[in-house]
Amino acid sequence: MPEIDELRATPLWEMLHAHPEWVGLAIALIAFVECFAIAGLIVPGIVLLYAAAFVAGGGELGLWAALGCAFVGAVAGDSASFILGRRFGPAIRVLPPFSTHPEWLSRGEAFFARHGAASIALGRFVGPIRPVLPLTAGMLRFPNGQFYAVNLASALLWAPVYILPGYVLGASLQHEIEPPPGLLVGLLIFVIWCWGMSRLTIAAWQAGEPGGALHDRLNPATAAGKSLRAPAFGNGVDTRASLLAGTLTLLSLTALGVALLLASPMLAPWRRFALDLLMVLRELV
């Protein structure tokens, strides 16, 4: 994650700071490029998006406007990739850069085969294959309605995840909030914690899929013990068990993180910082 002084030294920050009317357009374009096939593999979109959100949080653009611009750009980028996949199909394999890097599409196809429709939402948060999955969905002729429904829903979560960190940091400096010691280290730990939660949630979800440990224990046809059998699940045991396991895992880990933040005396400066930021965000919203 870039240092504050490094952000202020970038040409993007200088340009947007000099032309604040371009901040919203910049966020939308960067989000589009980050989610668009091929371009998202080459352009450091996350760093650019963080810098643009940092400028927006400094008072150049409202919070809802920044989130809306990121949402529109993300939806447009994934949609364009999906349309390209449907238009050209397997012929994309012979086009550069996929002709020289066939493993990019192979990873996307393997991820899509494993997770199905959920891969469109999950893939937004998996850096190396994020721009490839909508393209892969188009190549595999994934139904239009399902794709756009998942695209819109997942972009609602993607936008705040990638906009809020930079925006909140910019807002805190604008309102002269005293940052806690080790701010950037703490943010890095938070990102790692979120990544770990996502990995464990995915693992819990997979345990409820056919062949998973939870699925086999709950399925009356394969359960080893009567105490864990659940005939009420019926043929939908994999879907319902996956949803239950993933939801409970995510809620439990989130509650654990909040409890640590509230209980640890060492994190008292962070609690004050969080409360100050909440006050600022209430004003911005």
Cα–Cα distance for residue pair 115/168, rounded to 1 Å: 33
Give the model's confidence band at 62: pLDDT under 50 very low, under 70 low, under 90 confident, else very high: confident
Same domain, 159 and 84: yes
Same domain, 56 and 157: yes
pLDDT 10s digits, 24-34: 888 999 899 88
Mean pLDDT across the stretch 209-225? 63
Cα–Cα distance for residue pair 200/78, rounded to 1 Å: 26
**Residue with the larger pLDDT of the pair 228 and 210:** 210
Same domain, 15 and 59: yes
Question: Is the residue at 38 inside a domain?
Answer: yes
Same domain, 133 and 207: no
Report which of 250, 244, 248 is spatially closest to residue 193, judged by C-alpha positions. 250
Q: Angle between the 237-263 and 183-207 helix axes, to the nearest 10 degrees?
A: 160
pLDDT 10s digits, 97-123: 666 667 777 777 777 777 767 777 777
Provide the pLDDT for residue 107.
Answer: 75
Same domain, 169 and 201: no
Provide the pLDDT for residue 52.
Answer: 85
Same domain, 146 and 199: no
Provide the pLDDT for residue 41.
Answer: 65
Amino acid at 39: A
Sign of torsion over alpha carbons 226, 228, 232, 235: negative
Question: Is the residue at 179 inside a domain?
Answer: no
Same domain, 56 and 92: yes
Are the CB atoms for 56 and 167 separated by under 8 Å? Answer: yes
Provide the pLDDT for residue 221.
Answer: 58
CA 52 to chain CA centroid, nearest Å? 17
**Residue with the larger pLDDT of the pair 161 and 213:** 161
Report which of 9, 58, 47, 53 is spatially closest to residue 28, judged by C-alpha positions. 53
Provide the pLDDT for residue 162.
Answer: 86
Same domain, 15 and 57: yes
Provide the pLDDT for residue 229.
Answer: 39
Same domain, 277 and 146: no
Q: Which of 135, 151, 174 is the last residue of a domain?
A: 174
Q: Which residues contact 126 (CB under 8 A, 6 or more apart)?
A: 111
Please state, rounded to an integer, the average pLDDT across all residues of the chain.
76
Mean pLDDT across the stretch 30-57? 79
Lowest mean pLDDT among 41-55, 68-82, 136-150, 213-227: 213-227
Same domain, 169 and 189: no
Q: Which of 151, 174, 197 is the last residue of a domain?
A: 174
Q: Is the pLDDT of residue 228 over 50?
A: no
pLDDT cut 90: percent of the chain above it: 7
For residue 243, the enclosing domain spans 184-284
Same domain, 197 and 106: no
Same domain, 73 and 52: yes
Q: How many domains does the chain have?
A: 2
Mean pLDDT across the stretch 219-244? 52
pLDDT 10s digits, 150-208: 889 889 988 988 888 888 777 777 777 776 777 667 777 877 888 788 888 888 877 77
Q: Is the pLDDT of residue 233 over 60?
A: no
Q: Which of 116, 147, 174 is the last residue of a domain?
A: 174
Report which of 163, 168, 188 is spatially closest to residue 2, judged by C-alpha positions. 188
pLDDT cut 70: percent of the chain above it: 72
Provide the pLDDT for residue 128.
Answer: 64
Q: Which two tokens stand for residue 268?
A: 């008292």
Give the model's confidence band at 127: pLDDT under 50 very low, under 70 low, under 90 confident, else very high: low
Cα–Cα distance for residue pair 117/146, rounded to 1 Å: 8
Question: Is the residue at 31 inside a domain?
Answer: yes
Q: Is the pLDDT of residue 223 over 60?
A: no
